Amino acid sequence: MSFTTRQVKVLVVDDSAFMRKIISDILEEDPKIKVIDRARDGKEAVEKTLKLNPDVITLYVEMPGMDGLAALKEIMRLKPTPVVMVSSLTRKGADTTMKALALGAVDFVAKPSGAISLDMKDVAQELREKVLIAASASVEKLIGIALPTKEPIRPIQIKRKNIEVVAIAASTGGPRAIQDILGNVKTTSIAPIVIVQHMPAGFTKSFAERLNEISILEVLEGYDNLQLKPGMVVIAPGGRHLIVEYNRAKQLICRLSDMPPLHSVKPAADLLFLSVADIVGDTSLGIILTGMGRDGAEGAKAIRQRGGYVIAESSDTCVIYGMPKVAVEQGAVDEVLPLHAISIRIEELAAR
């Protein structure tokens, strides 16, 4: 997987000298990464960001004084820079991480065993990859600085059947994009929406709860045999694949699977999209948002071949124009739209 060709300059921020050393050593195992400095708290992180111009910052959340969230706000205000949050695997850590993503963090990595994690090697590859991906992310798009003018979108030209299921795929930059879409849906009389956001176990519940607070729709983490109903949004749980099928009463339900990761991710959007194509066919709507990789392209092509409709997010608003680009190149997309237009199109196609 290709991220960036230049050496990435990283500022490592953690209140623990031990963790600053461990994280720095992990990152510099990749010759494409150079740790240019370390900071012990949020205040020092902001000062060194302004002075050193790092390409990426790894930022621990729970620090005394100015904590990670406060530092993130200041960095995004003064000098928007790609940030990978480092959080704990606790419920509080998950909630704080969701706030960080809403404030403009590109992604996050969870310390496996608390503030002082002797087993950081377990997430070493993930940390390096996310730092390299973050280096190519457009933070300006993530926090709304460089978004295009919200011009009206053209009405859809094709008469379509009422959509039964909306399936959405997202990865890096996805939490903010999904929040934007769901926050702008103006009706609860709409087909159920099922979302695969690449996110580890323990975080999707907090993600769903945060979305439920900002949307008029009912947002919840998916579980086995959950019946899909109008006005409902289901987030695939981290660490499980999610598909849709009909039960014996001919009701659409969610099913969870422990199949191995696909495209190195679990949940995988392709599995959701393929099930939607098989079960719902020409009354399905697939949407591929920002993210690195190719997840969703194969399933989107299946939805389109079955007569469903597929939308890809435009490069104008993507934080990472990877997943949508692959889908477009493979001929799996009916329409390319900027982020602000996607909620409008969902209502137009999927309102009951």
171 is catalytic: yes
Catalytic residue among 87, 117, 171, 275: 171
CA separation for the pair 94, 173 (Å, rounded): 17
Identify the active-site residue in 180, 198, 206, 340. Answer: 198
d(CA 95, CA 93): 6
Q: What are phi and psi of 166, to 5 degrees?
A: -110, 125
Which residue out of 215, 295, 314, 340 is catalytically annotated?
A: 295
* The two structure tokens encoding residue 106: 């590109």
Structure tokens at 316: 């104008």
Decide if 88 is catalytic: no
Question: What is the C-alpha to C-alpha distance for residues 252 and 348, in angstroms, rounded to an integer?
Answer: 22
To the query of whether residue 295 is one of the catalytic residues in this protein, the response is yes
d(CA 76, CA 83): 9
The H or E element that residue 257 is part of is strand 252-257
Long-range contacts of 324-329 (CB under 8 A, 24+ apart): 324/288, 324/289, 324/290, 324/291, 326/293, 326/294, 326/297, 327/288, 327/296, 327/297, 327/300, 327/301
For residue 270, with 0-12 CB atoms within 10 Å meaning exposed, 13-18 middle and 19 or more buried, which class applies?
A: buried
Non-local CB neighbours of 50 within 8 Å, separated by 6+ positions: 78, 79
The residues carrying an active-site annotation are 171, 198, 295
